[in-house]
């Protein structure tokens, strides 16, 4: 079926093929409203990965009377998109309602996915205790329903990584790596390698970090995945900066900033501007550095306001 083919293409990071399958199937499924909704969910996820923001937000209205499960999935995807674009208060409301609906229908895969999205939101809100709780809840659901656990392991790894507990983070990420390999999800295998690179970078193992970062960027470029590509560029830029290769680091930071700005990812924009400022200062260009600092301060104020509104 078209839906299964689209899901497989999405899992393998073939976003353009997933979009093609969904758009064709939607045109041919006009009489099957629920099937169209499921296809539009995969279409939204694929469009987001490709950096097509407006297209990703083109979701059906989450009418509970039509189908509670579909309504929960739509709200989960909308919550994800709102979180990615810095609308944290609206994202939190969507995800709370999605979780309520999923618990009402008792579908393990659905509840698992919503907890993963909630963990992402709490990561953006720097509420790492709530993020950890979501990771543990996702793991419990996966164990109860015998689901693939890669995403839950990744949440746990991220939580330890932001706390700079590198050994624990690496252990969880290695479990995630094995889980995604077993689930035949090569793109997500590469995303976990990127996270492992961050852990090794944190431990000062730059050669190993660069190996992971380079593999991740190649995967993102191959898939056309702008949503991960800017992070890959920023990570590689950080290694060059640490090595004193300032001009090369600048080129990666600029590319990261360009992509993140187009995606409306204010958290990343603020970080990449700060990275650019640091590189410019290392090169002795205080004027450019100050300009980046001022813009980063403006962006970070917007992020802080959005976080406060969601608290």
- Within-domain flag for 103: no
Residue 48 and residue 282: Cα distance in Å, rounded? 35
Tell me if 218 is assigned to some domain: no
What is the per-residue pLDDT for 66? 64
Task: State how many domains the chain has.
Answer: 1
145 in Cβ contact with 108 (< 8 Å): yes
User: Tokens for 3?
Assistant: 């839906």
End-to-end CA separation in angstroms for the chain = 43
Q: What pLDDT does residue 20 have?
A: 96
Please report the pLDDT score of residue 12 as a whole number.
Answer: 87
Per DSSP, helices labelled H in the chain are 2-11, 15-28, 33-49, 53-56, 68-84, 88-105, 108-124, 128-145, 150-162, 166-182, 186-202, 206-223, 226-242, 246-263, 266-282, 286-310
User: Hey, is 242 helix, strand or coil?
Assistant: helix
Task: For residue 165, report the phi and psi dihedrals to the nearest 5 degrees.
Answer: -95, 80
Question: Cα torsion for 81, 82, 85, 88, to the nearest 10°?
Answer: -140
Q: How far is CA 90 from CA 33, 73, 82, 84, 311, in A?
A: 26, 16, 7, 11, 11
Residues 6+ positions from 68 with CB-CB distance below 8 Å: 101, 104, 105
pTM: 0.92
Q: What is the CATH number of the domain that holds 293?
A: 1.25.40.10
Determine, yes or no, domain membership for 49: no
> Would 151 be classed as within a structural domain?
no
Q: Decide if 71 contacts 59 (C-beta within 8 A).
A: no
Predicted local distance difference test score (pLDDT) of residue 259 = 96
Low-confidence ranges of the chain (pLDDT < 50): none
Q: What is the pLDDT of residue 65?
A: 59
pLDDT tens per residue, range 89-104: 999 999 999 999 999 9
Is residue 63 in some structural domain?
no
d(CA 273, CA 259): 12
Q: Which helix (H) or strand (E) covers residue 60, if one does? A: none
Contact 95, 121 (CB under 8 A): yes
Q: How far apart are CA 302 and CA 294, in angstroms?
A: 13
Question: Would 64 be classed as within a structural domain?
Answer: no
Give the per-residue pLDDT at 32: 83
Residue 187 domain-assigned (yes or no): no
The C-alpha torsion from 191 through 196 and 197 to 202, rounded to 10°, is 140
The residue range of the domain holding 273 is: 225-311
Note whether residue 45 is domain-resident.
Answer: no
Kindly report, residue by residue over 253-266, the tens digit of the pLDDT: 999 999 999 999 99
DSSP string for residues in 103-132: HHHT-HHHHHHHHHHHHHHHHHTT-HHHHH
CA-closest candidate to residue 26, choices 59, 50, 49, 53:
59
Q: What is the DSSP string of 151-211?
A: HHHHHHHHHHHHTT-HHHHHHHHHHHHHHHHHTT-HHHHHHHHHHHHHHHHHTT-HHHHHH
């Amino acid at each position: 079926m078209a839906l299964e083919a689209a899901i497989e293409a999405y899992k393998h990071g073939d976003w353009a093929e997933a979009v093609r399958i969904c758009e064709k199937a939607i045109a041919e499924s006009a009489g099957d409203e629920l099937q169209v909704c499921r296809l539009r969910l995969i279409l939204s996820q694929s469009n987001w990965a490709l950096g097509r923001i407006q297209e990703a937000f083109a979701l059906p209205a989450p009418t509970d009377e039509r189908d509670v499960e579909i309504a929960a999935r739509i709200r989960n995807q909308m919550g994800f998109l709102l979180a990615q674009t810095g609308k944290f208060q609206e994202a939190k409301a969507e995800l709370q309602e999605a979780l309520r609906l999923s618990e009402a229908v008792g579908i393990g895969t659905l509840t698992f996915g919503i907890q993963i999205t909630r963990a992402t939101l709490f990561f953006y809100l720097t509420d790492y205790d709530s993020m950890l709780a979501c990771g543990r809840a996702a793991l419990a659901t996966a164990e109860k329903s015998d689901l693939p656990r890669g995403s839950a392991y990744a949440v746990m790894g991220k939580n330890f990584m932001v706390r700079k507990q590198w050994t624990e983070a690496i252990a969880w990420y290695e479990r995630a790596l094995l889980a995604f390999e077993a689930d035949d999800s090569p793109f997500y295998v590469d995303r976990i390698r990127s996270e492992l690179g961050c852990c090794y970078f944190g431990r000062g193992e730059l050669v190993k970090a660069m190996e992971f970062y380079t593999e991740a960027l190649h995967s993102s470029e191959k898939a056309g995945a702008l949503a991960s590509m800017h992070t890959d560029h920023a990570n590689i830029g950080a290694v060059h900066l640490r090595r004193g290769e300032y001009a090369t680091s600048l080129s990666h930071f600029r590319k990261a900033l360009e992509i993140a700005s187009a995606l409306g990812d204010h958290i990343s924009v603020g970080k990449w501007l700060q990275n650019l400022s640091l590189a410019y200062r290392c090169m002795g260009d205080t004027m450019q550095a100050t300009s980046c600092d001022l813009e980063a301060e403006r962006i970070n104020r917007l992020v802080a306001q959005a976080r406060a509104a969601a608290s």
